[in-house]
Amino acid sequence: MNNILTVQNLIVRRGGVKVLDIGALNVQESRILALIGPNGAGKSTLLLTMAGLLKPDQGEMCYKNRPVKSSADRSRMRKSVCVVFQEPLLLNTTVYKNVALGLKFRSLTNGEIRKNVEDALDYFGISSLAGRSAKTLSGGESKRVSLARAFALKPELILMDEAFNSLDPPTRETLIDDLRHVLEETKITAVLALHDREETLRLAQDVTVMSEGRLIQSGATAQIFNQPDSEFVANFVGTETILEGTVKKSNAGLMEISIAGKTIEAMGNYPPGQDVYCCIRPENITVLQDTPEKTSARNTFKARIQKIVRQAFFYKMILDCGFPVVAYVTVSSCDDLGLCEGSTIIASFKATAVHVMKREK
Amino acid sequence: MELIVQGIIKAFQLIFSFDPEVLGITWLSLKISGTATFISLFIGVSIGTLVALTNFPGKRIVISIINTGMGLPPVVVGLFVTIIIWRSGPLGFLEILYTPYAMIIAQAIIATPIVMGISLASIQNLPPNLRLQILSLGASRMQMVWVLIKESRLPLLAAVMAGFGGVISEVGASIMVGGNIKGYSRVLTTATVMETGKGNFDIAIALGIILLLLAFLVNLLLTQIQQRQHPR
Amino acid sequence: MKMFRSSQWIVALIIVTALVVLGATGVFAAPKQRNIILATTTSTQDSGLLDKLIPIFEKETGYFVKTIAVGSGQAMKMGEKGEADVMLVHSPDAEKKFVEQGYGIKRRLVMHNDFIIVGPGADPAKIKGVKSSADALKKIASANALFMSRGDNSGTHAKEKTLWKKAGINPDGQKWFQETGLGMGQTLNVAAEKKGYTLTDRGTYLAIQKNLGMEILTEGDAALLNIYHVIEVNSAKWPKANAEGAKAFSDFMVSKSTQNIIKTFGVDQYGSPLFFPDAGKKVEDLGK
């Protein structure tokens, strides 16, 4: 894999305070990288730096194997890297002229500009808006225009800051699908600052988790979600259940871990006596009324429903199996089973669904 | 009351008979105030934008000075311009006291802080990330500044209106540095003052009506442009 | 596409303004010949006399005259600073001092008219027909009748102060005595509005009397003469002053043809002349 952009030992200060301290970050060509982390983690600052819009106080950055040092380097780099900000930042003119803005800064003929603008409008399904005044657009339409404006430039790298913030859910849903489609089709490398796990799962191929200006963990999306290497990452990627335990037995990749006096089975090779975290993603827990006669799930516990919280399309249940476990149950199966707070049920999960992390004392 | 009615009748007679003297005065007013506004537009917008887009120590003080300048009393400007350009003043060799040039200078000094203050505020009012967004789309610094100025064209139009309205209706500085010389530096306001002094209320009213009409037309034109920005 | 049109508008606006600038610079360049700055009183301008004389002078000599109409006091201040070349003023005492101090040269008598005391027809102080201006002022003072003063150091104001002095009255601070700080025409308007008395030159009064509704109450006193002199600014003191132009203007004012124009000026409009030409006469002989 080729790295289109690499960053090393990058430090950015604001008002004397270190807001960014990045050891190393590589952006691979034609892949979609998500920067995730809570607000104030430094995602936006990192994006601005990577876009050549912010001069770091220290550190090296290479764009396509060429060092980016001077302001001339940054300005050259900006011709092929484009940022899409959180707010649409449209000019008070027509949609067409907004999308044409960046093209006008490049010496293109009117015909070329027209073609690129039309293509970009088409990508985001907003060709019909071309003649509209940008001031009359809805939030979702504005966002599409601002994305089209960036994609019209056919940049090599596109950086997006919280692209879906402040959009209503249906608008967001369709925009995520469309964006993924456009990214797949154009093969443009993208870095997305996100803070929503679902968006991350749906868009990103790679994930870097940030906190307080530092990188916490980087890897493929599946790896980050299934094997967080710290409690912080686990929490952030939405592993709802994180249990503290100690390895009792370990044999050929299968471990028995004792948690609050109970025992669960999990995959892994930690030696007995090792203190660990066990992470179980809620969607991997099955809730049943009776103990199934045949199941491949190694872990089956009797549990009492402590609390039911209604989410968008499912119920989030906090179960007490002797240790707390969080499970998601669809609305229909919840109704079918007649579940309510205080009911007793069976919770089961596979050994492979348990992600075990080392726990330092 | 009779005086007012008579005055208004006479005023319209003067206007619609295209009295050459009244027309001359009107045209001169337009030229002087138009030129002064144009000059202030250049200076005001460039310095206003520069101050808005750069960070330097003492920026707040500079902004306060500009905002104070927006309320410069015209007679004070007239006084200082007179002192500087009269024969014994530092710029006396130019020999421009009691000329339309002196009036343009004084009026430009009055209008510039108004234009500067409004353009500064309007550029500062644009979303802070907009500059970065434009740069990120591949703009050079100059292109970015130009896009920002274009984006604040509505407040800038308001600035032009305010500046022009301020100077065309201004009398103190004009009479001091222009001298109200017939056919040369006599403009609508100074002529109005003089005709009132002479008791020629009809002519004074005519000039006043023309002044109002002029201000109205200029604002109508600019509002027209402004409305076009918001179709429906 | 709306935008397209509006940007065209802006371009059009800029072009129009640019044309105005070009036009302006073209037209303002008119007076290439040397300028003369004439500092004079509002009364000469307001009466319209200068509007008649100056075009003739400009045509004859090719000079461009910048007439700055202010009070006599300010006109002489401009002369003192060398900001004017020539003065046409009516404040004899101050003029003498001005020449003695070396600011001006060649003070020449040009013309006179006279001051009059005007007031409301009701005449609360009963001064109608009183011949002596001093007696009239005394009556006004003792009747506590409202008197409007110019209060602006003009020639008229100077004359008024002399008259009060002659009457032995110090009106300053009196309730019935108010200063307008305005020109003659405006002061007359204020006096008419407030039904007060005031001292005015006859020319200005005649020119605007139609709107006033006031009456001439005291006139013909020798003390009420309003005498205009032309004075050239001393170019030895102020080398920048246009001495030649000043001399030309001064000569023009006392020339025979100009004096003839002065003699008949205003007759067709008001039935009587506004000024009496006096070139070559002595001040002491006036009004006799």
B138–A79: do the CB atoms touch at under 8 Å?
yes
All residues of chain C having their beta carbon less than 8 Å from the beta carbon of residue A94 are 1-3
All residues of chain A having their beta carbon less than 8 Å from the beta carbon of residue C3 are 93-94, 97, 133
* CATH (residue range C114-224): 3.40.190.10
Over range B49-67, report the average pLDDT: 92
Interface check for B164 against chain C (CB to CB < 8 A): the answer is: no
Q: Which of C31, C64, C189 faces B199 most closely, judged by CB atoms?
A: C189
Architecture (CATH level 2) of domain C35-112+226-283: 3-Layer(aba) Sandwich (3.40)
* Shortest Cα–Cα distance, A218 to chain C (Å): 47
Q: Binning pLDDT at 50, 70 and 90, where does residue C18 land?
A: low
User: What mean pLDDT is reported for chain C?
Assistant: 83
Domain extents in chain A: 3-235, 239-358
pLDDT at residue C22 in the model: 55
pLDDT at residue C220 in the model: 84
Contact B172, B74 (CB under 8 A): yes
- Integer Rg of chain A from CA: 24
Question: Which chain C residues touch A if contact means CB-CB below 8 Å?
Answer: 1-3
Q: Outline where C120-175 has alpha helix (H).
A: 133-142, 155-167
* Shortest Cα–Cα distance, B91 to chain C (Å): 13
Contact A18, A41 (CB under 8 A): no
Beta-carbon neighbour count of residue B13 at 10 Å? Answer: 12
* Shortest Cα–Cα distance, B227 to chain C (Å): 9
* Shortest Cα–Cα distance, C174 to chain B (Å): 26
pTM of the predicted model over 0.90: no
Question: Which chain A residues touch C if contact means CB-CB below 8 Å?
Answer: 93-94, 97, 131, 133
A82–B140: do the CB atoms touch at under 8 Å?
no
- Residues C24 and A252: their CA atoms lie apart, in Å, by 97
Q: In what order do the strands lie in the sheet with A3-14?
A: A17-28, A3-14, A58-63, A66-67
- Residues A24 and A27: their CA atoms lie apart, in Å, by 10
* Shortest Cα–Cα distance, C3 to chain A (Å): 6
**Contacting residues for C149 by C-beta, under 8 A, at least 6 apart:** C157, C160, C171, C177, C178, C179, C180, C187, C198, C199
All residues of chain A having their beta carbon less than 8 Å from the beta carbon of residue B146 are none
**Contacting residues for A277 by C-beta, under 8 A, at least 6 apart:** A231, A234, A242, A243, A244, A245, A356, A357, A358, A359
Closest residue by Cα to residue A59 from A25, A14, A15, A29 = A25
- Indicate whether C24 pLDDT > 70: no
Q: Binning pLDDT at 50, 70 and 90, where does residue A122 land?
A: very high
pLDDT at residue C15 in the model: 63
C20–B31: do the CB atoms touch at under 8 Å?
yes
Contact C116, C219 (CB under 8 A): yes
Say which CATH topology domain A3-235 has: Rossmann fold (3.40.50)
Domain extents in chain B: 2-228
pLDDT at residue A8 in the model: 93
**Structure confidence by residue, pLDDT tens digits, C162-211:** 999 988 988 888 889 988 888 888 888 889 888 899 999 888 888 778 77
C66–B100: do the CB atoms touch at under 8 Å?
no
User: What mean pLDDT is reported for chain B?
Assistant: 87
A239-358 domain in CATH 3.30.1360.30?
no
- Indicate whether A305 pLDDT > 70: yes
pLDDT at residue A281 in the model: 85
- Indicate whether C4 pLDDT > 60: no
pLDDT at residue A209 in the model: 93
All residues of chain B having their beta carbon less than 8 Å from the beta carbon of residue C238 are 87
- Residues A29 and A143: their CA atoms lie apart, in Å, by 25
At A165 the three-state DSSP class reads: coil
pLDDT at residue C210 in the model: 77
- Indicate whether B37 pLDDT > 70: yes
pLDDT at residue A35 in the model: 94
pLDDT at residue C32 in the model: 47
Closest residue by Cα to residue C78 from C52, C51, C41, C106 = C41
Over range A276-303, report the average pLDDT: 82
- Residues C131 and C32: their CA atoms lie apart, in Å, by 52
> What percentage of chain A exceeds 70 in pLDDT?
98
Contact A20, A40 (CB under 8 A): no
Interface check for B217 against chain A (CB to CB < 8 A): the answer is: no
Query: Which residue from A minimizes the CA distance to B149?
Result: A91
- Indicate whether B217 pLDDT > 90: no
Q: Identify the residue with better confidence: B2 or C109.
A: C109
* Shortest Cα–Cα distance, A147 to chain C (Å): 21
Q: Identify the residue with better confidence: B183 or B58.
A: B58
- Indicate whether A91 pLDDT > 90: yes
- Residues C9 and B161: their CA atoms lie apart, in Å, by 15
**Structure confidence by residue, pLDDT tens digits, A183-222:** 989 999 999 998 887 788 888 899 999 999 999 999 988 7
Q: Which of C66, C188, C189 faces B179 most closely, judged by CB atoms?
A: C66
Over range B9-27, report the average pLDDT: 85
Write the ipTM.
0.79
C2–A97: do the CB atoms touch at under 8 Å?
no
**Structure confidence by residue, pLDDT tens digits, C66-123:** 889 887 888 888 888 888 889 999 888 888 888 888 888 888 989 988 899 999 988 8
Domain extents in chain C: 35-112+226-283, 114-224
Over range C268-284, report the average pLDDT: 82
**Structure confidence by residue, pLDDT tens digits, B138-191:** 999 999 999 999 999 888 888 888 889 889 989 989 988 888 888 888 999 998
All residues of chain C having their beta carbon less than 8 Å from the beta carbon of residue B104 are 24
- Indicate whether C30 pLDDT > 50: no
Q: How far is CA C130 from the centre of its chain?
A: 27
Domain at B2-228, CATH homologous superfamily: MetI-like (1.10.3720.10)
> What percentage of chain B exceeds 70 in pLDDT?
95
Over range A231-258, report the average pLDDT: 86
Interface test with A, best of C1, C2, C3 (most A CBs within 10 A): C3
Interface check for B194 against chain C (CB to CB < 8 A): the answer is: yes
